[in-house]
């Protein structure tokens, strides 16, 4: 089949989705947003958001460094990485899962969430730590142990989904002294408008959960 060129020839393409490191079920690029479950002392799996930093690549485009992630402060993910040595990273396109993971305390009975399209069990090793203000930022190397692809789908682009993910970041910083509250509220207003105009039912439900978890709209009205 032709690639659509008028002359019917082949065109050289670059892969826009990155390269999958050995043992990982999906390609990673830049900072890939994921959800991680880690086993807590109560025997249940804590659910949290986790940004995965894609490895550097060599001259042939192959990964030549490990996947890393960072934890900020004394979180449940930090504690469970420290005590259990790892967790289960999963990839999902459900915006409600991202909101719950980033802004609420959520626990599950099973390590793999129903909304996961793929997952990878990882060992986590702390390789660096630095302090900014009162917050200790720890860097972890993540090594895959086992993985699976649960569901394959054709990717689509929805601005509402991206706005939900960005909004969870802004909302999680509302009470952090290093960030300007007024600026964060302005960003949340913008993201709310994008979701209202471009999002589907799942994105709107996810943003309603942001409203409920943070009360940012009331704070914006008072600002």
Residues 6+ apart with CB under 8 A from 82: 126
Terminal CA-CA length for the chain: 58
- The residue ranges of every structural domain in the chain are 31-149, 159-222
Judge if pTM exceeds 0.95: no
Alpha helices in 53-200 (DSSP H): 76-84, 95-103, 159-172, 181-198
pLDDT higher than threshold 80 for residue 47 = yes
Spatial distance between the Cα atoms of 69 and 139, rounded to a whole number of angstroms: 6
Judged against a pLDDT cut of 80, whether residue 1 lies above it is answered with no
Spell out the residues 6+ positions from residue 32 whose beta carbon is closer than 8 angstroms to its own.
26, 51, 52, 54, 91
Q: What is the CATH number assigned to the segment(s) 31-149?
A: 2.30.110.10
CATH architecture of residue range(s) 159-222? Up-down Bundle (1.20)
Q: Are 114 and 130 in contact (CB under 8 A)?
A: no
Alpha-carbon distance 90 to 88, whole Å?
Answer: 6
User: What DSSP character marks residue 75?
Assistant: -
Please say if the pLDDT value at position 156 is more than 50: yes
Contact criterion met (CB below 8 Å) for 94 and 115: yes
| Portion of the chain with pLDDT greater than 70, in percent | 92
User: Vertex 154, ends 148 and 157: CA angle to 5°?
Assistant: 115
Q: Which helix (H) or strand (E) holds 207?
A: helix 201-214
Q: How far apart are CA 103 and CA 112, in angstroms?
A: 19
Q: Of the segments 2-11, 12-21, 40-49, which one has the largest average pLDDT value?
A: 40-49
Give how far the C-alpha of residue 166 lies from the chain's centroid of Cα atoms, to the nearest Å: 10
Q: Residue 114: what pLDDT?
A: 97
């Amino acid at each position: 089949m032709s690639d659509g060129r008028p002359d019917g020839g082949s065109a050289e393409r670059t892969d826009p989705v990155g390269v999958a490191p050995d043992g990982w079920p999906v390609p990673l690029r830049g900072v890939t947003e994921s959800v991680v479950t880690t086993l807590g002392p109560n025997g249940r799996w804590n659910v949290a958001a986790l940004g995965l930093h894609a490895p550097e690549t060599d001259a042939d485009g192959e990964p030549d460094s490990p996947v890393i992630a960072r934890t900020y402060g004394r979180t449940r993910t930090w504690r469970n990485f420290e005590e259990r040595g790892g967790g289960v990273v999963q990839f999902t396109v459900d915006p409600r899962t991202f909101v719950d993971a980033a802004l609420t305390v959520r626990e599950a009975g099973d390590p793999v969430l129903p909304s996961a399209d793929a997952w990878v069990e990882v060992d986590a090793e702390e390789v660096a730590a630095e302090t900014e203000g009162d917050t200790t930022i720890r860097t972890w190397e993540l090594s895959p142990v086992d993985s699976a692809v649960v569901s394959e789908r054709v990717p689509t682009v929805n601005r509402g989904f991206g706005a939900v993910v960005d909004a969870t970041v802004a909302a999680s910083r509302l009470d952090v002294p290093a960030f300007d509250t007024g600026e964060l509220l302005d960003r949340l207003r913008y993201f709310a408008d994008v979701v209202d105009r471009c999002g589907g039912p799942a994105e709107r439900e996810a943003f309603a959960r942001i409203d409920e978890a943070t009360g940012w709209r009331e704070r914006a009205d008072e600002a």
